[in-house]
Amino acid sequence: MTYVKEKWKQAIDAINDALNICSVNGIKLYTYEKEPFIYDREDFDANRAKMQTLYDLRMVICDPWNSELVWGYSGIDYYNQGELAHSSNMRLPSGSEFSSGVRGTAEYSWQWMGATYQMVERYYTKNGLPITEDRTFDISSVYEIITTPGVMDPEYTDIRGIVQPGVQTIRLYMDREPRFYANLGITGGYWRAHSFRIPTLMFGGAYGGYNSAQHSTDFFCTGIGIQKFVHPESTSGAWQRTIKYPYPIIRLADLYLMKAEALNEYNDAPTQEVYNAINLVRERAGIPRVESVWA
């Protein structure tokens, strides 16, 4: 097969056409514009910029037919399988603080699709760099047990509503980009589902961890859940209680990143136009522009 560089130009033209159509039809990068959920309102007011970014990223997949969706698949069988929504949702713990919810049942909250540690390591640091490239991130100590800042510590201000105060976790889970906390369920973080904010610890007998009384085989085997596919108002007990949304096949962010890749390949080097396309996605994700972190 012969390499034809001009095919990249054809791709650029097609992507630009698609972006123009999106613009005409009001497609734009998603931002969460509703009121935050009741359980988050106090923290949202106290840490507004960080919490807004968290909500933008937490809801961009599961907010049905939102402003960023270009092509969505709505043929998911929620009754028989439900696929990502059911398999990734953790069960609502049986604690008394969740008494108004459907607690302790594995029905339509299967809690078995977890993330690997390799995937966890691929998320960027808070500085928008891979953990192996960020000189402020000590790669040699990522699995050390630490205690998160307490509510009276000045460091807690930036992580309020995102990381639990004063709990044990591992260093790998700290100082990461906003997508990390929006997409995953970790020890020391929060799981937003069942109309609750669940403080997860992800070990046996704790919220999010293995519980043989609920199910003997279904649990997050790595201790890391994936909450990006779970709408915060989805609950257990019946498939009708799952908030249904079209699975995004193409989002506007995908088009921007496709454009950046095609331009980079066609020009044999990154140009400002490449950076501009990438930075639209990075800025919405709450991380610095690519030129500033790779300078």
Q: What are phi and psi of 166, to 5 degrees?
A: 65, 35
Angstrom distance (rounded) from CA 226 to CA 191: 9
Q: Are residues 63 and 136 in the same domain?
A: yes
- Calpha distance 246→61 (Å, rounded): 9
Q: Give the pLDDT score at 237.
A: 63
Specify whether 267 is located in the same domain as 136. no
The answer on 258 and 210 residing in a single domain is: no
Ranges of residues in the chain with a pLDDT under 50 are none
Q: Which domain holds residue 102?
A: 38-245
Residue 198 domain-assigned?
A: yes
For residue 204, tell me if it sits in a domain: yes
Bridge partner list, 147: 168
Q: 191 and 106 in one domain?
A: yes
Residue 276 sits in the same domain as residue 170: no
Asked, for residue 73, whether it belongs to a domain, the answer is yes
Q: Given its phi and psi angles, is residue 4 left (phi above 0), alpha (psi -120 to 50 degrees) or beta?
A: beta
Residue 87 domain flag: yes
In a domain, 1, yes or no: no
Domain identity same for 105 and 234: yes
Q: Does residue 289 fall inside a structural domain? A: yes
Please identify which residue in the block is written with the tokens 């990143």. Answer: 257
Residues 61 and 110 in one domain: yes
Looking at the fold, whether 137 and 231 belong to one and the same domain comes out as: yes
Q: Does the residue 156 lie in any domain? A: yes
Domain boundary, last residue among 245, 265, 285? 245
Report how many domains make up the chain. Answer: 2
Residue type for position 171: R
pLDDT at residue 176, rounded to an integer: 98
**Is residue 14 domain-shared with residue 46, that is, in the same domain?**
no
**Residues 186, 287: one domain?**
no
pLDDT at 88: 75
Same domain, 181 and 111: yes
Global confidence as pTM:
0.92
Q: For residues 92 and 193, what is the distance between their CA atoms, to the nearest angstrom?
A: 8
**Domain containing residue 282: CATH number:** 1.25.40.900
Same-domain pairing of 165 and 209:
yes
